[in-house]
C-alpha cells in the first residue's frame, strides 16, 4: 500500500532529508585521495548525531547477513551499492558512491551521490553525468496523473542511449515512516504502467548504472553489491514529495 502523507508528515520527512543532504555535502568535501571510507563514516555519524538524529542504515538488518555496521554505504568503483566503510584508502581516479539515510522525529530521509576521487577518466565522468541526468529524468516524470512506470521508463530511455547496464535487482522506493515503503520503483519499465502518482506521496528515485552489463553479484559480507564484470558503477538518489501535483526534491543539496 502506498501511504499518502499529511503536510505535517512531509515537514518531518523534509527535515530528515535536509540533514541527509547536509551530511552528503559535508562528507563530499572530505572524500579525497588518501582518505579511508571509515573516516568518512565517522564524520557522517558525528554530524548526524549532533543534529539530534539517528543514522538510519547503522544496525539495519537483512536476512542472511550481519546488521549493517556503517552510517554510510560507501561503494567504490565496481561496488554498486551497500559497500561497508573500511580502512580502504581512496585512490586517484576512482568513483565513490555515498548513500546515507537519517531518522528524525521517526521519519526517514534517503539520498546518494557518486563523486570523483582525484582525476577520473572521461568514460567514468560520462557514466556519472548520465546517471545523475537519469535521476532528474525520473524526477521530471514524477507528476500527479502519471504512473510509477513513467518514472522507470524515463530513466531507462535516457540510459539506453549510452548502452550502459541498468541494475535490475535494486530499485527506488517509498520513504516515510519506514526506510523502504511501497511502491518499488525499478529503473527500467513500461510507461503508463503501475500505480498512479498522487499528491502526498514521498519516495526515493535511485538509478544504479554500470559501465558494463547490468549483472551484479553480492559479496561474501552479505551486503556489498558489485558489478559481475567488475566495471565501474554510479548511483544517484533523491527523496521527493509530490506537492501541488509536482515533485519537490527534499534532499536537494
Least gap, CB of 119 to Mg ion (angstroms): 27
CA of 210: how far to CAs of 75, 160, 216, 232, in Å? Answer: 13, 11, 9, 6
- Of 148-156, 186-194, 218-226, 236-244, the window that binds Mg ion (rule: CB under 5 A) is 236-244
Least gap, CB of 139 to Mg ion (angstroms): 14
x-or-dash string of contact with Mg ion, 203-222, rule CB under 5 A: -x------------------
- Of 5-13, 92-100, 186-194, 240-248, the window that binds Mg ion (rule: CB under 5 A) is 92-100
Residue 227's beta-bridge partner residues? 216
Least gap, CB of 197 to Mg ion (angstroms): 17
- Establish if 102 lies at the interface with Mg ion (CB under 5 A): no
User: Residue 51 or 93: which CB sits closer to Mg ion?
Assistant: 51
- Of 15-23, 53-61, 95-103, 131-139, the window that binds Mg ion (rule: CB under 5 A) is 95-103
Which one of 15, 45, 77, 99 is in contact with Mg ion (CB under 5 A)?
99
Q: What is the C-alpha to C-alpha distance for residues 145 and 121, in angstroms, rounded to an integer? A: 40
Q: What is the C-alpha to C-alpha distance for residues 165 and 159, in angstroms, rounded to an integer? A: 8
- Of 13-21, 50-58, 122-130, 237-245, the window that binds Mg ion (rule: CB under 5 A) is 237-245
Longest dimension (CA), the chain: 48
Least gap, CB of 111 to Mg ion (angstroms): 6
User: How many angstroms separate the first and last alpha carbons of the chain?
Assistant: 30
Q: Which residues ranging from 108 to 147 are in contact with Mg ion (CB under 5 A)?
A: 110, 112
Q: What is the C-alpha to C-alpha distance for residues 191 and 152, in angstroms, rounded to an integer? A: 7
User: Residue 41 or 110: which CB sits closer to Mg ion?
Assistant: 110
User: Residue 41 or 145: which CB sits closer to Mg ion?
Assistant: 41
Cell numbers of 130, please? 548520465
User: Residue 15 or 110: which CB sits closer to Mg ion?
Assistant: 110
Least gap, CB of 163 to Mg ion (angstroms): 25
User: Residue 20 or 130: which CB sits closer to Mg ion?
Assistant: 20
Total residues interacting with Mg ion, rule: CB under 5 A? 5
Residues contributing to the site for Mg ion (CB under 5 A): 99, 110, 112, 204, 237
Amino acid at each position: 500500500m502506498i501511504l499518502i502523507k499529511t503536510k505535517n508528515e512531509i515537514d518531518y520527512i523534509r527535515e530528515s532529508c535536509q540533514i541527509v543532504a547536509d551530511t552528503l555535502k559535508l562528507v563530499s568535501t572530505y572524500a579525497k585521495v588518501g582518505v579511508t571510507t571509515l573516516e568518512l563514516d565517522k564524520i557522517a555519524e558525528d554530524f548526524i548525531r549532533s543534529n539530534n538524529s539517528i543514522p538510519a542504515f547503522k544496525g539495519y538488518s537483512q536476512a542472511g547477513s550481519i546488521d549493517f555496521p556503517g552510517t554510510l554505504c560507501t561503494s567504490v568503483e565496481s561496488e554498486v551499492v551497500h559497500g561497508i566503510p573500511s580502512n580502504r584508502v581512496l585512490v586517484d581516479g576512482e568513483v565513490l558512491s555515498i548513500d546515507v539515510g537519517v531518522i528524525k522525529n521517526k521519519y526517514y530521509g534517503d539520498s546518494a551521490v557518486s563523486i570523483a576521487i582525484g582525476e577520473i577518466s572521461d568514460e567514468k565522468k560520462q557514466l556519472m553525468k548520465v546517471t545523475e541526468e537519469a535521476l532528474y529524468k525520473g524526477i521530471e516524470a514524477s507528476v500527479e496523473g502519471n504512473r510509477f512506470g513513467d518514472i522507470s521508463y524515463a530513466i531507462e530511455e535516457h540510459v539506453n542511449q549510452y548502452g550502459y547496464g541498468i541494475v535490475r535487482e535494486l530499485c527506488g522506493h517509498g520513504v516515510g515512516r519506514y526506510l523502504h515503503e511501497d511502491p518499488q520503483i525499478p529503473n527500467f519499465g513500461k510507461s503508463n504502467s503501475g500505480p498512479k502518482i498522487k499528491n502526498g506521496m514521498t519516495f526515493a528515485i535511485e538509478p544504479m548504472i554500470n559501465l558494463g552489463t547490468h549483472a551484479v553479484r553480492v559479496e561474501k559480507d552479505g551486503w556489498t553489491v558489485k558489478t559481475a564484470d567488475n566495471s565501474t558503477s554510479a548511483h544517484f538518489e533523491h527523496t521527493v514529495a509530490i506537492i501541488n501535483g509536482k515533485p519537490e526534491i527534499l534532499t536537494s543539496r
